[in-house]
Amino acid sequence: MKHVTLIATIGSVTAIAFAGEPAPVQTATAPAPAPALGGWFAGAGFGQFDSEGSLGELTNDIDFDMYSLHIGRNLGTQFLGCDLATYLEVGYLDGDTNATIPAPLPIPPLLPLPPTVADVDVEIIPITLNLLAERTLFSGIKGYISGGIGYAFTETSFSGNSDSDGGFYAQASIGLAYDINEQWEIYGGARYIYLGDLEIGGGLGDAELDDSVGYEIGLRYNF
C-alpha cells in the first residue's frame, strides 16, 4: 500500500513538472501619447485709445481702434513668483484727427491765404517682441504685466494725399486674465503705446504719439 501511495505521489509531481507554469497573460501596450506643442499659445485682442498727438501746428486727440494678433510660448521659468512668457504681436491701429495745413506763400501783392484745417487718417501697423509676466491671484484669476518694443509702419492720408513712414514703437500692458478652462482664457486691462517722430510731409512736419493710454480685451488659446 505504501508503494502505491509513493508511486501516485511521484506521478502527480511529474505531471505537474511536465505541465509547466501557466502561460503569461498578454497585455496590450498603450500607444504613446501624441507630442504636444509644449507651452505655445495664440490670441487676438481689441482696444481703443484716446491719444494726444501733434500734427503740424495743432496738438490734437487722435482716436484709435486697435486690432492685434499674437503668438508666443511660456518660458517655463519664474521671476518674483511670476510665470514668464514671450510673444510676437502684430497690430493694426486706425485713427483720425484734423491738422492745420499751411497755405502756400502768396505772390505779392496778393494777400496771404488762411491755413486749411484738413481731416487726417492715420494707420499704424506695429510689430513688437514682448515679455509677459503672470501670477495667480485667486482660483482661475491671474494678474499680468507685459511690455514690448518694435517697429511701426505708418500711412497718413489727408486732402487726397498720402505719405508712408515708420519708426520706433513701444507698448506696455497691465490687467487681469481669467482661465475659462485648461485651453481658453480671456484678459483685459490698460495699454500704453508710444510712437516716435515720423515725417508726414505735405507741410505737416513730424508726428508723435505719446501719453496714449487705452483699454484692451482679448482671448487666448493655450496649446
pLDDT reported for residue 15: 46
* Rounded Cα–Cα distance for residues 99 and 175 (Å): 34
Q: Please give the pLDDT value at position 116.
A: 66
| 111: pLDDT strictly greater than 80 | no
Distance between CA atoms of residues 168 and 126, nearest Å: 9
The structural domains of the chain, with segments of one domain joined by +, span 40-222
Report pLDDT digits (tens) over 13-46.
444 444 554 555 555 555 544 444 568 999 999 9
Q: What confidence category does residue 100 fall into, taking pLDDT thresholds of 50, 70 and 90? A: low
What is the tens place of the pLDDT at every residue in 7-19? 444 445 444 444 5
Q: Is the pLDDT of residue 107 over 70?
A: no
Distance (Å, rounded) from C-alpha 156 to C-alpha 96?
A: 9
What does each C-alpha distance from 191 to 87, 95, 114, 174 come to in angstroms? 16, 16, 39, 7
Return the CATH number of the domain spanning residue range 40-222. 2.40.160.20
Q: What is the pLDDT of residues 150-192, one digit of tens each?
A: 999 988 877 777 778 888 899 999 999 999 998 999 999 999 9
Strands 116-138 and 82-101, bridge-based pairing = antiparallel
